[in-house]
Structure 1
């Protein structure tokens, strides 16, 4: 089953796609409510898929983005911080960071990169959508857009990524329920071809089954000493072999292929799921930050004596 969120005749609704037609849920539930409570009835009459505007398939409660491909870690690490190899700690557990659930874009949306960023990048991922009780409800495509120059500088502090990532991610074109992808399972992994292209030129491709951990292992680790709720998004991390530009920059020692520019179209295709395309633009320039107030140690220790 393919579940979508869409806009038609000025109204935003959710429903299922069958044979090129969208059938809305009768009770007006959104996708997170459907994931929590089960599928409601759908209308008998549908709308042609070609006549609707697909939106991001859900508004996630949270987005955890993992890093489960060794090849990606090795290449990007060299590109972002100049280090070689894969950190030994990577092999201990499926590490993740939280990214912004409020800057989620959908199919066909323009992606506003920070105007100050020149090293603009995409990241080809598959995301699992958590179901009740730390199950997996389904899967969609995730593009974790990255401002590599901002990311490289801020991560020197030992935190992050932050502003290098939180401006945009895209999801789509729909959620494919887990049962639909069961035929692709191989030793617990999903054996799906994933392909990235910029302006119609293929940049990279890899099998999703090259992940270091399965999606159930990722969900279980995320829930350890914590909470995973239905509707949470858990990204696979970027596939290897050109799943992003930074990996190739790290391997090539130069920014080839070039960073994304305004007007570029990024298309991610995942076997069994579909295709997600977005166009790159620049956001408006933000106001300059005030200068930092550096600590005067002598003053800090002497001003208050009470």
Structure 2
């Protein structure tokens, strides 16, 4: 099934069930009003939501209405935890190679992960407000999952059973703030503003297309599309080159703590290796963040030439199923000045 959260003026919005084709929706109020409530009692509530989903898809839901992604908050507008991994080691290799640094052997066996802010997620069509272009504004197209309860010490295989929903993310990064923060030895903070998520989050059974399952062993084998200012810059395959699958990422968190229902775990930037053609490395699948493009340019030309995002830029992140239809709906955002917002409010 497919679930979304509609804006209603509150912090947590109203849970809606969305049809498979993303055309229609129905409030889940008669069952539960918040996604977190469903996650807390998934075994009891999810079958009721599934019944509503089936009725909606068959035209039997009496109070259905056209689905509008612009009315959506993040599927889970605020979460108990947001932990973002770096599951695509190719991305790490490019970043390291661009600064002539080796990738530590442990990076291939132990996932990289940081804990981000989860109190204020962005909806799929919300503006990305940043104080200054000089901060190095970047998008990051990712896949993310929402969990139920997963106990401390869970194996990767056990952790996979804790996945309830899958969605897309734009993990906005302010690249020019990162070096100074990492130099402190405590990791990202101000360089990672609010993350945006796709209009809908979907259950794992939605990835079966004509008997072919795109969800395999904790990886989603579909193409993640990134379109920057109307130009498609990324067509990255999310499955084959994901070094650590979602079960491994969740188990990494579970080594010393429980993971509770409503935790969000990100894959990190989806990244594909280059191929050698005519004596030169090329990246036919493009990129899922500007930083990676700049690393490629540095490796090839000695310095980056692609600039980071400017105010007025737009980013669209979407994933199509094997049937050619949008699975999650699209993240479509514009970069705007938060300083201009404050000036206008004070005028």
TM-score by length of 1: 0.85
What's the counterpart of residue 300 of structure 1? none
Task: Please list, as runs of the form range in 1=range in 2, the aligned pairs for 1:149-298 lying within 5 A after superposition.
Answer: 149-165=176-192, 167-182=193-208, 183-186=213-216, 188-209=218-239, 210-241=241-272, 242-253=287-298, 254-272=303-321, 273-274=327-328, 275-284=330-339
CA distance in 1, matches of 2:136, 2:304: 9
Separation of aligned partners in 2, 1:71 and 1:50: 36
Q: Corresponding residue for 2:38?
A: 34
- 1:9 Cα offset (Å): 9.8
Aligned to 2:156: none
Q: Secondary structure at 1:74's aligned position in 2?
A: helix
How many residues of Structure 1 are paired with residues of Structure 2 in the alignment?
Answer: 282
Mapped pair 1:47 → 2:51:
no
Deviations 1:206-265 (A, max 9, x none): 111110011112112211211211110000010114111111111202443321000111
Query: Could you give the per-residue CA deviations for residues 142-175 of structure 1, whole angstroms, max 9, x where no partner exists?
Result: 111111110122212222111111x221011110
Q: Is the contact between residue 114 and residue 147 of structure 1 (CA under 8 Å) also seen in structure 2?
A: no
Cα distance per residue 1:104-134 (max 9 Å; x no partner): 1011100112326342111110001112345
Structure 2 residue aligned with 1:296? none
Which has a greater percent of strand?
1
Distance 1:93 1:17 in 2: 37
Name the CA distance, whole Å, in 2 between partners of 1:240 and 1:51.
27
Unaligned runs of 5+ in 2: 53-60, 151-158, 273-286, 322-326, 341-347
Partner-residue secondary structure (3-state), 2:187? coil
TM (normalized to structure 2)? 0.75
